[in-house]
Structure 1
């Protein structure tokens, strides 16, 4: 049965696939994307990022890319920087108006790419995320950690996505490029994207999911604990990234106020003739005031650093819609005109 067709306005498509120790899947992954997009009506490129593999994955990728053409571009990292850095490397290399990210273990189906891109462009969205309704993974090591992580991320970010962990996503390139990914941030791309665009411009679309056939999974129950740490950082940057003085100053005022009340209470007792020198409350009040002053000072220093960063780097505390910068026309594959633009 042939795949359904979807309306695809003019654009250039970049597909980004990070891979780590996927020698057995390397050639198959490239072939799967090639087959799915062979008749794609717009120019497209595939960017495969090898994240410092040690099992022969880079060689397999290079060989297959040389056989298919220069629309397959292999980026090799010097060592294993983990999935987020590899994904950012692919995004930095991508030249498309639309960028699609996906895993390199053959569990995401590239045949879903036209559907995601079509919805992204026809509904004028900035991101369409895949939703693995029928996920083909083990419960304990994959589904359970994902369920916990999704619930925590939804609670902190306020985004009601059902499957935040699905790597198959379609983005407008000019919006995605305004977000820099660090640490383990690939799990929180929708949340970080909400800092530059409205959550109303993001949607979720059911996609196919396949069981892993070859290679070993890089995920496990331990990632839930990393998610918790990353959530704290995400909460801070989403709420106070451009106003750190409010974060530290708020804690400082609370601590100083509590310490001040304790000392005031003990001061009244002292005036009434009671001995307060040996009370633990005295030390608690003193150190609360001291900690509060330190937090307030930290807030002032953080504000100075933040303002210096924006002044010297030219960065902005806001984001505007703007066209993508054009690049060279070599290395595109497809039937569409190379003058296409979203």
Structure 2
């Protein structure tokens, strides 16, 4: 089942993990062949973990057997493995938000469901988050197992552009393997393609000094196909444009868009003043001149057109957050197993063998 090597622990010798509860959130879309090997890998990585933990698997409206696999394996492993099933494909950001909403831990780790992220990196990242008093430790796929021209080169360009626009200097915004302080990540909501801008998003409620980057392992995809395509690039560009405006003018949008409106309004007013002077002093007819229409258009555009889109965007976000509206709809899942839903190191209802297979602990 598992063909990946098992690395040694990345924790310092004699390190004591601070007390916490850990939630591992994994959005999945058409990853039926990866669900079981991923859970095996997670249980191998967490076999000697000293704190309680859970796994939240989010099916993002898959068209294959992914939801059935999640239900089967959740029942097999026990109550510390939870499934969230969305009614349709809402894309990765909404699926990640659904997982964050379902997570109960005060520390939350996220990773992709394609086995390219390695769960063995999670304990080291959690230890750094808690011992260095950080709010986010983001993974850096320094040695990516993907093609250079179609994946790595565009990613490098995008990472530099995002870092320049947002002001949060990271080398790998696209890595889904991240570890958050739960209280901080729950203070923001994710929309659109914002999952790749999470570090910049968090910087609005914390500080870049509490965001760090950690080199992580990256594996080549074994099963399934990549969900990334050129269409996602265009969506990312649009979200990056909005992020630029939101990060700089979220509390004072009128300073920027009002400035644009003033410029357009002044240009339109100058045109209208020029035509008025021609009419009054030279007696020429201006009613059929295109400049008249242009002048009125610039004035109206300066007052309304530019700001209406931004105000609509902000109002939609205010509505979603103030009214508790969700960007997804999930099917209710029946309870399975016994216990409180955590994998406790001393009283686990579902234990794992050295191979990561589930084995029921016996109570005497």
Contact 2:189-2:321 within 8 A present in 1 as well? no
Is the alpha carbon distance of 1:306 and 1:225 closer, same or farther for their aligned partners in structure 2, counting shifts above 3 Å?
closer
**Structure-2 residue corresponding to 1:158:** 167
Secondary structure, counterpart of 1:333 in structure 2:
coil
How many matched pairs? Answer: 324
**Structure-2 residue corresponding to 1:42:** 51
- In the alignment, the residues of structure 1 paired with residue 216 and residue 167 of structure 2 have an alpha-carbon distance, to the nearest angstrom, of 23
Contact 1:13-1:97 within 8 A present in 2 as well? yes
| TM-score after normalising by structure 2 | 0.80
Say which of 231, 236, 241 aligns to 1:232: 241
**Structure-1 residue corresponding to 2:8:** 2
Say which of 150, 154, 157 aligns to 1:148: 157
Say which of 288, 295, 305 aligns to 2:298: 288
**Structure-2 residue corresponding to 1:320:** none
Contact 2:11-2:127 within 8 A present in 1 as well? no
Is the alpha carbon distance of 1:143 and 1:78 closer, same or farther for their aligned partners in structure 2, counting shifts above 3 Å?
same
Segments of structure 2 that go 5 or more residues without pairing to the other structure are 1-6, 325-338, 349-364
Is the alpha carbon distance of 1:194 and 1:182 closer, same or farther for their aligned partners in structure 2, counting shifts above 3 Å?
same
Cα-to-partner distance string for 1:211-255 (whole Å, 9 max, x where unaligned): 001111111233221111111222233233344444442322121
Cα-to-partner distance string for 1:271-305 (whole Å, 9 max, x where unaligned): 55274726544432222112223358849977996
Deviation at 1:269, TM superposition (A): 4.7
Contact 1:43-1:337 within 8 A present in 2 as well? no
**Structure-1 residue corresponding to 2:224:** 215
Secondary structure, counterpart of 2:57 in structure 1:
strand
Secondary structure, counterpart of 1:222 in structure 2:
helix
How do residues 162-201 of structure 1 correspond to structure 2 at under 5 angstroms? 162-201=171-210
Say which of 112, 125, 128 aligns to 1:119: 128
- In the alignment, the residues of structure 2 paired with residue 142 and residue 246 of structure 1 have an alpha-carbon distance, to the nearest angstrom, of 38
- In the alignment, the residues of structure 2 paired with residue 53 and residue 246 of structure 1 have an alpha-carbon distance, to the nearest angstrom, of 44
Contact 2:117-2:219 within 8 A present in 1 as well? yes
Cα-to-partner distance string for 1:39-83 (whole Å, 9 max, x where unaligned): 111111111111122221122222222222211111111221111
Contact 2:21-2:106 within 8 A present in 1 as well? yes
| TM-score after normalising by structure 1 | 0.85
Segments of structure 1 that go 5 or more residues without pairing to the other structure are 315-328
Contact 1:249-1:299 within 8 A present in 2 as well? no
- In the alignment, the residues of structure 1 paired with residue 307 and residue 26 of structure 2 have an alpha-carbon distance, to the nearest angstrom, of 44
1:16 paired to 2:25: yes
- In the alignment, the residues of structure 1 paired with residue 273 and residue 200 of structure 2 have an alpha-carbon distance, to the nearest angstrom, of 44
- In the alignment, the residues of structure 2 paired with residue 87 and residue 305 of structure 1 have an alpha-carbon distance, to the nearest angstrom, of 23
Cα-to-partner distance string for 1:138-190 (whole Å, 9 max, x where unaligned): 22332233233323322321221110000000000010001111121111111
Deviates more, 1:150-159 or 1:98-107: 150-159
- In the alignment, the residues of structure 2 paired with residue 222 and residue 307 of structure 1 have an alpha-carbon distance, to the nearest angstrom, of 24
- In the alignment, the residues of structure 2 paired with residue 60 and residue 296 of structure 1 have an alpha-carbon distance, to the nearest angstrom, of 48
